[in-house]
Amino acid sequence: MSPLHRPPRACPVCSAELVVSGCGCPDCGTGISGRFRMCPYCALSDEDLEMLRVFLVSRGNMRELERHLGVSYPTTRARFADLLARLGLEEPGGADVDRDKVLADLAAGRLTVDEAEALLQP
């Protein structure tokens, strides 16, 4: 069996969003045609899907995601905000940072000074 590929999201001619117009059973050959909506997660890269999987398995623990990615906490938050933006769940550029929470995390030792500073910069 050949590897499965992700469908393209945009028309190569006019760049309009494509729709799925057919599905088929590889075992019996049954085919279904029509207009089906695309899954928003199907457009994500394998890297994004893995990040989302780790986030869900860790029940939303950003520190666990940070360990998995091997990057700093601010970078982890920025990458996750970018992922949410690609899914249309957040405006590009990320959500507003809760200054009081960042300062509380810094005071509790959950963030380093550099991480807190990076989160608080505009």
Return d(Cα 120, Cα 10) in angstroms, integer: 36
**Strand partners for 22:** 33
pLDDT digits (tens, 9 = 90+) for 75-121: 888 888 888 888 888 776 545 567 777 788 888 888 888 878 777 77
For residue 122, the model assigns a pLDDT of: 61
Cβ count within 10 A of residue 18: 13
Q: How many CA atoms lie less than 13 Å away from 95 in the CB half-sphere?
A: 11
pLDDT digits (tens, 9 = 90+) for 4-33: 777 787 889 999 988 888 889 989 999 999
Query: Is it the case that residue 45 has pLDDT exceeding 70?
Result: yes
The predicted model scores a pTM of 0.57
In the chain, where the domains are located? 8-38, 42-120
Query: Is it the case that residue 1 has pLDDT exceeding 70?
Result: no
For residue 31, the model assigns a pLDDT of: 93
Ramachandran sector of residue 88 (left: φ over 0; alpha: ψ -120 to 50; beta: rest): left
For residue 93, the model assigns a pLDDT of: 57
Please report which confidence band the pLDDT of residue 67 belongs to, taking 50, 70 and 90 as the band edges.
very high
Contact 55, 80 (CB under 8 A): yes
Which residues does 35 contact at the CB level (< 8 Å), separation at least 6?
A: 19, 20, 21
Please, is 112 exposed, middle or buried when counting C-beta atoms within 10 Å of its C-beta (0-12, 13-18, 19+)? Answer: middle
